[in-house]
Amino acid sequence: MSENISIERADHVVTIRMSRPDKKNALTGAMYTRMTEATRSSILDDSVRAIMLAGAGGVFTSGNDLRDFGDSPPVNADSPVFQFLQTISTCPKPIVAAVSGLAIGIGTTMLLHCDLVVADPNARFSLPFINLGLVPEAGSSLILSRMLGHAKASELLLLGDVFDASSAERFGIVNKLSAPGAADVEAMAWATTLAAKAPVAMRLTKALLKSETGGLSARMAEESVHFVSQLQGPEFREALRAFMEKRAPSFG
Ligand code: COA
């Protein structure tokens, strides 16, 4: 299934592209594993100075593949989804994201671990975990509270509604809105700019910027325990059935 992730190289920038447009780039375990491998090899390769995350077909990603989650749910921190999140959250090299179309669930939470995010003005974001009987991941319960305060973070995580690109920019999840259809090009321009900066200073600056993230890995571990147990429970089972039957879930 690694053909659903394409890896592109342009000078000192590696682009990791989610490429499963018929499923809105929904992410399977195999895709997370490929993305983790590509990120790790980019970290080890001195000639790579910046990483770009993007999606194919005008969509970033519709988040975790719900069927794959039902068939082979993550069971612990070694599971592909948590390995991927751990890898990008500790990546010493700059990551730029280009968001078009949809950024659902992990499609939004992975942005909290990127350094610069460019979004198409038509992009839509959501954190629908609650609607699926799940809990937030990627440390988003901590990061969003710190970024936005308790009230706004609660609104996003307890209601799970869709929000638009201008709101994402206002919240600080997105750095800038591109010209329509130009998120990839503008994100690549930023990645190329970052790749030309002094690499040691870049690594140190990123580490300094992230030094205030105390408690993040503990929170990610705590979230993953609840996430794994909710995935195996009746609430997610009902949400998955509802998704497959194209109806709203009923949690009684
Ligand atoms: N997991 C599994 N399959 C998904 C998916 C996901 N997260 N997102 C989309 N797909 C599949 C759809 O089932 C559909 O498959 P099919 O053609 O075999 O029926 C295909 O991708 C196209 O999606 P569709 O729903 O027809 O497109 P749409 O434009 O009407 O809606 C979404 C797109 C993303 C809004 C809708 O598919 C959706 O809500 N997906 C679930 C998002 C989600 O909850 N993600 C998990 C977050 S933890």
For a pocket test of ligand 1, which of 4, 19, 23 has the largest count of ligand atoms closer than 8 A to its C-beta? 23
Give kind and range of the element (H or E) at residue 14: strand 13-18
Q: Which residue CA neighbors atom 30 of ligand 1 most closely?
A: 24
Which residue do the tokens 């390769």 mark?
45
End-to-end distance of the chain based on CA atoms, in angstroms?
37
Which neighbouring-strand residues pair with 99? 119
* Residues counted in the chain: 252
The mean pLDDT of the chain is 96
What is the model's pLDDT at position 154? 98
Distance 164 CA to ligand 1 centre (A): 18
Provide mean pLDDT across the span 134-145: 96
Pocket of ligand 1 (CB under 6 A): 23-24, 26, 62-67, 102, 104-105, 128-129, 132
User: Is the pLDDT confidence value at 3 over 80?
Assistant: no
Average pLDDT (213-218) is 84
Model confidence over 44-73: pLDDT tens digits?
999 999 999 999 999 999 999 999 999 999
**Residue 199: CB atoms within 10 Å:** 18
3-state secondary structure of 91: coil
Mean pLDDT over 126-137 rounds to 97
Flag whether pLDDT at 1 surpasses 70: no
Q: How far is the CA of 65 from the centre of ligand 1 (A)?
A: 8
Give the pLDDT confidence of 94-104 residue by residue, as tens digits.
999 999 999 99
Distance in angstroms (rounded) separating the CA atoms of residues 186 and 176: 10
Band (pLDDT 50/70/90 cuts) for residue 149 is very high
Residue type, 180: P
DSSP E strands, 56-120: 95-99, 102-104, 116-119
pTM: 0.96
In this prediction, residue 2 carries a pLDDT of: 62
The CA distance from 181 to 199, in Å, is 30
